[in-house]
A and B are shown apart, each in its own frame.
Chain A
Amino acid sequence: MGKTLYRKVWDAHTVGTLPDGRTQLFIATHYIHEVTSPQAFAMLRELGLPVLHPERTFATVDHIIPTDNQAEPLADPRAQTMLSALRQNCQANGIRLFDLPTGNQGIVHSIGPELGITQPGMTIVCGDSHTATHGAVGSIAMGIGTTQVRDVLATQTVAMSPLKVRNIRVEGTLRPGVTAKDVALHIIGKLGADGGLGYAYEFGGSAIESMEMDGRLTLCNLAIEGAARCGYINPDEKTFAYLQNRPYAPKGAEWDTAVARWKSFASDADAEYDDVVIIPAEEIEPTITWGISPDMNIGISGTVPSPEQARDAETRKAYTTALEYMKLTPGQPLKGMPVNVVFIGSCTNGRISDFRAVAPLLKGRKVAPGIKALAVPGSQMTAIECEQEGIADIFREAGFEWRLAGCSMCLAMNPDRLEGDQICASTSNRNFKGRQGSPTGRTLLMSPLMAAAAAVTGTVADPREVFDIQ
């Protein structure tokens, strides 16, 4: 029996077995940001320990950074304190910080792949659950807590037990207007928000093999929303083409050596999986969430389900809570429902491909009256590309607010947030209660195409109809 990529990477990074039976796992690349690292540095200072491998940790500021005015001191003194703490900790320990003036700042899960720091065959961790994103290049990438951030800083290792591996194969051709985001939501809807507990998800199948890297990053980003701590895709020619010539990618002769090494990590054809799920690509529609958990989603042509349709008593209660919070009635379609805010961005859908896909649709169209529409590039690199390609201007002319790079309205740690019970058509990753900053705010997760359709119609809409996508 062959091995999965997960097993190969795990084995290659295993230092040994700890007394409690867990593996001591070496971490090839560690990302940090301002929210989950300051306490870790404080713990390190308390223990009197240095950072063992500062060259393997990379820092950026993303969660708390305003996307309108980044002049310092920041308007929120607590945000400034967090930014200043990050700078001090990086400076004191020799850690590379992609700070605001570098041109490389952005959401940690945007810049890692864009700079080519994220590479196949690596173990990658960050104090952030969406670290799963980096698995798209063929690495084991996982979110960790702050105490583990300390462990990585001090020892470049973590104590962990291996996950099981579920092979999720999406076979066939995606229908027009169906994106990686729809695929991810569809999978989560099918397997449940807790369906991936104990698993790493290996995404494969012809629809995934045809998917470009940015889409793969979106898909792996959302593995955690299906409870899989880690999601990955085997590295292939698309992966290598994506990484080639990126600033931190190997160059020259080292490139060829690296590619050969990376290829060796791909799952063997006869690899043994703990579970296999096959999904026909044709069954996936443009998908939208209706509830307060990412698995509460429907195809755009569907209707809001009734609690009676829930699989068990616990889910029935969850449906009832969700319907009440979202102020929805079972049986109603979401299509046509007015929205207040549109947000295109986040570590899920703030990449260059997302803006490139939406810009031609917005050309010559206007954001509907009364709608607040935000477009937030995931990184300064993406922002620059969008300016150079005229994409930013198309968004501005359509009536979007074109913002600076950051997490923005995904998570309410910066000034971008919902007010009252506003409904947001959002390309982010979580529709949890209160997630977007108002304890009664309502989030509808969707693809950038559907968000663009919402922006120009002012309602939930099928992008295939609005933009004549066939």
Chain B
Amino acid sequence: MPLNKIISITGKAVPVPGADMDTDRIIPARFLKCVTFDELAGTMFYDERFHADGSSKDHPIDAPQHAGAAIIIGGENFGCGSSREHAPQAIKRSGIRAVVAESFAEIFFGNSSGIGLPCVCASQADLATLSSITTDAPETEWTLDLAAMTISCPSCSIPVRMPAEPREALMQGRWDAVVELMNAPEAVAQLAATLPAPTYTPAH
């Protein structure tokens, strides 16, 4: 199945403020009791958005003016903690198509790239600008352009960063690595033969 080339994403944005937004907050563990990712839409940031009794905490995600947002504006070390891919899956399945933050935890970043959810970094000052424009004028359409490495609206353009390899993978439509990983079976077999596998061995 050919993958789509992810070059630019246009849509409204929504701020999800806070440093060290861990994956337990992105998706609480109780939603991980499942054997598929199919029912994760709507679970993202659940306890950040709702009280225990189900009433709203008035999180920006649930504000009518941010409805249908495609881009999350996050803080520093976004996605830290647990490796659960349920976190980016929940974000993607809730309609988000990109995350811009000050920095990302490695595993979250890799998980997101691998499912075609671009994560790009911007400076704290630029994120503050992005956030304040979005809060003042929530209808603002932002375009994240991975070719130009900018996120822009009619009134401003902000530089963003992403390591070269995942950026290439997204833009070339190669973000699901399994296709390439299957291309070198002989080389894998040769290497495997040189690397011992742990084997049960009774005591002598």
Contacts and interface: CB of A to CB of B under 8 A. Distances in A.
Given A150-B178, A430-B81, A247 B105 contact: no
A153 B36 CA distance: 17
B184 A314 contact: no
Interface stretch (A79-87, A210-218, A460-468): A79-87
Interface stretch (B58-66, B129-137, B195-203): B195-203
A29 B178 contact: no
Contacts of A131: 83
B116 to A, nearest CB: 10
Contacts of A197: 77, 103-106
Contacts of B51: 439
Interface residues on A, range: 35 or more
A158 B182 CA distance: 10
Chain A interface SS verdict (over half):
loop
Nearest to B48: A433
Interface residues on B, range: 35 or more
Contacts of A53: 192, 197
Contacts of B174: 18-20
Chain B interface SS verdict (over half):
loop
A42 B83 contact: no
Contacts of A56: 197-198
A242 interface: no
Interface string B96-117: 0000001111110011001100
Given A20-B169, A318-B19, A194 B77 contact: yes
B3 interface: no
Contacts, number: 235
Contacts of A343: none
A55 B202 CA distance: 17
Interface stretch (B6-14, B139-147, B160-168): B160-168
Contacts of A147: 85, 111, 114-115, 176
Interface in A420-450: 430, 432-435, 437, 439-440
Contact of A314 (B19, B181, B191): B19
Contact of A47 (B47, B77, B110, B178): B178
10 contacts: A24-B188, A58-B198, A129-B82, A151-B178, A158-B181, A194-B105, A293-B22, A318-B18, A435-B29, A437-B29
Interface of B: 17-20, 22, 24-25, 28-30, 32-37, 47, 51-52, 75-77, 80-86, 88, 102-107, 110-111, 114-115, 124, 163-166, 168-169, 172, 174, 176-178, 180-182, 184, 187-188, 191-192, 195-204
